[in-house]
Structure 1
Amino acid sequence: MNTYRVLQTDMEYLAAALTQVRVSVWHVLDDREHIIDYGGPVEAYSAVSIKIMGKRYFRDTFEFRTKK
């Protein structure tokens, strides 16, 4: 059972930004996953990227997680 939730929709990013929850950034490839950034609150988001702690990450490259 996962202890995290993967953010995928604009509504989920908006809710994360409004509640200021910590969002971590992961690179997942096949069965391997690596944490890229322990993250922080979502500062901005677009159809292409998510801004966390002053850095932008592409939505189609990374997975964004928050604790359940």
Structure 2
Amino acid sequence: MHHTYRVLSTDMDFLTAALTEVRVSVWHVLDDHEHIIDYGGPVVEYSTVSIKILGERYFRDTFEFRVQK
């Protein structure tokens, strides 16, 4: 089964995700390797530095944030 997703990267992406309360998952991607860090939830808060999903905060420059299409 092939899953499609969209990567969130801009402030507008995170604002839209927060307003629509979609589930955002957190991934660590390095070269050709990727693994899920958190199956996620809705975006609670975001800044230019980090994203808060539920009770956890993740740095934007370290992780990739995805929503299912």
**TM-score computed with the length of structure 2 as normaliser:** 0.95
Identity, % of aligned positions: 78
User: In structure 2, what is the equivalent of residue 37 of structure 1?
Assistant: 38
* Unaligned stretches of 5+ residues in structure 2: none
**TM-score computed with the length of structure 1 as normaliser:** 0.97
> Is structure 2 residue 25 aligned with structure 1 residue 24?
yes
Runs of 4+ in 1 over 4 A off after TM superposition: none
Q: Describe the superposition over 1:16-39 as per-residue Cα deviations: whole angstroms up to 9, x where unpaired.
A: 000000000000000000100000
What is the CA–CA distance in structure 2 between the aligned matches of 1:53 and 1:17, rounded to whole Å? Answer: 11
Find the residue that maps to 2:62 and give its secondary structure. Answer: coil
Alignment root-mean-square deviation, CA:
1.1
Q: Describe the superposition over 1:3-56 as per-residue Cα deviations: whole angstroms up to 9, x where unpaired.
A: 000000000000000000000000000000010000000000000000001100
User: In structure 2, what is the equivalent of residue 4 of structure 1?
Assistant: 5
Q: How many residues align?
A: 68
Q: Is the 8 A contact 2:3 2:68 kept in 1?
A: no
Q: Is the 8 A contact 2:24 2:40 kept in 1?
A: yes
* Unaligned stretches of 5+ residues in structure 1: none
